[in-house]
Amino acid sequence: MAEDLMINGGYVVILFILGFLTYKHRALDFLGSVFMFAMGFVIIFSAGISWLLIILLFLILSLFATKFAKPYKKNLGKYEGRRNAVNVISNGIVAFMMAAFGSYYLPLAGGFIGAIATATSDTLASEIGILKEPRLITTFKKVEPGTDGAISILGTAVGVVGAGIIGIVGFILGIIPDPLVSIKVAVIAGTIGCFVDSILGAVLERRGLLKNEHVNLIATVSGALIGIILAI
* pLDDT: which is higher, 11 or 77: 11
Kindly list the domain boundaries of the chain, sorted by start residue.
50-231
Query: Average pLDDT, stretch 50-61?
Result: 93
**Res. 3: pLDDT tops 70:** no
> Three-state SS across 73-105?
HHHHCCCCCCECHHHHHHHHHHHHHHHHHHCCC
Q: Rounded distance, CA 226 to CA 107, Å?
A: 10
pLDDT of res. 25: 82
Q: Which residues contact 172 (CB under 8 A, 6 or more apart)?
A: none
| Helix intervals (H) in 47-178 | 49-67, 70-76, 85-102, 106-129, 153-172
Measured in whole angstroms, the distance separating CA 122 from the mean position of its chain's CA atoms is: 7
Lowest model confidence (mean pLDDT) among 126-135, 149-158, 209-218: 126-135
Flag whether pLDDT at 103 surpasses 70. no
pLDDT class for 133, splitting at 50, 70, 90? confident
- Lowest mean pLDDT across 24-33, 171-180, 218-227: 24-33
Percent of the chain with pLDDT over 70: 97
Summarize the confidence of residues 107-131 as an average pLDDT: 95
- Residues paired with residue 150 on neighbouring β-strands, in sequence order: 136
**Mean pLDDT for the chain?**
92
pLDDT of 6 over the 80 cut: no
Q: Which tens digits make up the pLDDT trace of 159-188?
A: 999 999 999 999 999 999 999 999 999 999
pLDDT tops 80 at residue 82: no
How far apart, in Å, are the Cα atoms of 111 and each of 37, 182, 186, 189, 213?
Answer: 22, 11, 9, 9, 19
pLDDT in tens, 150-162: 999 999 999 999 9
Dihedral sign computed on CA atoms, order 37, 56, 89, 71: positive
